[in-house]
Amino acid sequence: MDIRQIEISLKSPNAQDRLRALTALREYGSDVAVPLLTSKLKDPEFLVRSFVAMGLGNKRSDESYAALLNLIQFDTDPNVRAEASNSLSKYGDMSISHLVTTFQQDDHWLVRRSILAALVEMSCPEELYSICICGLAGEDPTVREAGIDALGLLAGTVKETDALQQILALKDAQWWRIRMHVARALKRFDSPDAKAALGELMKDEDHRVVAAALDSSL
């Protein structure tokens, strides 16, 4: 699709036309693509704005970076904010503080799960630990589970001891899924406390927790 056709399609009342135009921008450089992407930051369809966020992550520039910061702070749809968070993480270290702040201020599970997944892939154990603690203090069960999993990934880092203590504190949690994730996370730690906790979970009242503990001990 040539640029003139893309510009026309981006103005179409049909969202599918706009989506196809945004997809076609993959073939163009940032100097051409970014101004057209940012022209749809306020599109009425959240899916269109999600495609914009995705595109801005692939067409990195100062303008793209600023637009993504705008999306994660002000877009009304969590799907868009989550996609923008993921795209922002592609900018590396310069994005970390913004992602941490967003995690602390935006408690939607989709946004938080996106940021957790992004920071797991980055070398920032201090910041990852801080958002794990924030997530564990929240009420969403999927974020709490993802936080436990991420704490397990801090084994072998400067936050290993702190992470292990947070995981151990949850081994007697009331909900079986939390205990199951604790069992899976503990397998990453080679310490007497971790092994002792796994031994306790092998005798858990819930067979799914027992299975996770046994699998982790292999």
For residue 218, pLDDT over 70 is answered with: no
Q: How much is the mean pLDDT over the chain?
A: 97
Residue 174 and residue 190: Cα distance in Å, rounded? 25
105 Cβ partners below 8 Å, 6+ apart? none
3-state secondary structure of 49: helix
Q: What is the mean pLDDT of residues 187-209?
A: 96
Radius of gyration, alpha carbons of the chain: 21
Identify which of 41, 173, 82 has the alpha carbon closest to the alpha carbon of residue 197.
173
pTM here is 0.94
Q: Which helix (DSSP H) or strand (DSSP E) does residue 94 occupy?
A: helix 93-105
Query: Would the pLDDT of 155 be above 90?
Result: yes
User: Which residues have a Cβ under 8 Å from the Cβ of 10 and sit 6 or more positions away?
Assistant: 18, 21, 22, 36, 39, 40
Q: What is the pLDDT of residue 82?
A: 99
Q: Could you tell me the domains of the chain?
A: 1-122 (1.25.10.10), 124-218 (1.25.10.10)
Contact of 9 with 1, CB cutoff 8 Å: yes
Mean pLDDT of 32-60: 98
73: tokens are 């702070």
**How many alpha carbons lie under 13 Å from residue 100 in its C-beta half-sphere?**
17
pLDDT greater than 70 at residue 216: no
